[in-house]
Amino acid sequence: MSISDAPLVSSAAGIVPIVETPAFFRAKPITADMANPLIMTVTPRLTSLQRLRDDPVLRNRNARGSKRMHEAVRHYLDPFLEKIEIRDRLTDDEKAALRALPQKLVRTAARSRIVEEGEKPTHACMVLEGIVYRSKIASTGRRQIISFHVPGDMVDLHTVLFKVADHTIETVRNAAVVLVPHKAILETAEEVPALARAFWYDTLLDASIQREALLNIGRRDARSRTAHLFCELAVRLKRVGLVTNGSFELPLTQTDIADALGVTPIHTNRVLAQFRKQGLITATGKSVTIHDWRALVAIGDFDATYLHLEGPSDLHL
């Protein structure tokens, strides 16, 4: 059973009690003392874009709002919104419709399963805090990590149409994810074409990253694979403001890295030791610091075009 199906239990059991909306999915204001003090959330009580347009009070509140509210409010789905707006700017009404989606915040301990392979999920999840990964297990019991996901990623939008989960989604460390019901996503996509394109864009971007991962594992050596993975994660984490002076949190074990790159943990250890000796990176198991970005890019054969970001991807380290 994954955490999305589990009842609330004590943190000792691995699932931190969550801020849950009434009747599972109903928009509810969340204050800073109820959740992360860095994320103050007020979710509008809207069921559709049409209601927003029809109600002048709600329309006025969402279009302008008070100056004080505008400065303090941040919605759970804003990281996804910011990711989408790299490509397309949304109108105030379209943003309000996205924020009005019913949602549930779930906080988890490290190594918690959000979705298990074979489940029939009824929601999609967006990463709010932390890093999660998707994986599959071979009949031999060996794991392949398929992809890593950072804040703002809607990890499993494909399950809106694919009713059975064909892989597992798990957290790397303590994390927070936002669950949005499939039914609401479908209804909103039908009603708001710009959001339908946004959901489509996110799944296409996910597929682009998967194609690059296949190339990385299939046609690069261990050094290039490792360098490429660190370059990609650095660029993606930089986009969401989680890289400082070339350093970012990355609490991956050497086994995690090996399972993502199709090599052994021993081989991963050797590559990381070489990188450290050459002054390229320092990886502690909790964080990574890139000392020579251009050299790492060259070793990893890294070209960020597949991430479809606007502007240069160079971190200028």
For the chain, give every domain's residue range: 11-205, 220-307
Return the CATH class of domain 11-205.
mainly beta
Measure the CA–CA gap between 41 and 199, rounded to whole angstroms: 22
Class for the domain spanning 220-307: mainly alpha
- The confidence score (pLDDT) of residue 109 equals 96
DSSP state of 4: T
E strand map for 155-222: 168-171, 175-181
What is the arrangement of strands in the sheet containing 281-283, beginning at the earlier edge strand?
Answer: 247-249, 287-290, 281-283
Provide the residue-wise pLDDT of the chain in tens; the chain has 317 residues. Answer: 565 554 322 233 333 333 333 333 333 333 333 333 233 233 333 334 444 444 443 344 444 443 333 434 679 999 999 999 988 899 999 999 999 999 999 999 999 999 999 999 999 999 999 999 999 999 999 999 999 999 999 999 999 999 899 999 999 999 999 999 999 999 999 999 999 999 999 999 999 999 999 999 999 999 999 999 999 999 999 999 999 999 999 999 999 999 999 999 999 999 999 999 999 999 999 999 999 999 999 999 999 999 998 755 555 55
Look-up of token digits 């990574």: 288
State pTM to two decimals.
0.79
Give dist(CA 253, CA 309) in Å, integer. 28
d(CA 297, CA 248) in angstroms, rounded, equals 17
Q: Which two tokens stand for residue 51?
A: 């209601």
pLDDT for the residue numbered 316: 57
What local confidence, expressed as pLDDT, does residue 312 receive?
54
- How far apart are the C-alpha atoms of 270 and 61, rounded to whole Å? 57
* Strand pairing category for 143-149 and 104-108: unpaired
What is the distance between the terminal CA atoms of the chain, rounded to a whole angstrom? 43
What does the pLDDT read at residue 189?
Answer: 98
Identify the pLDDT of residue 28: 34
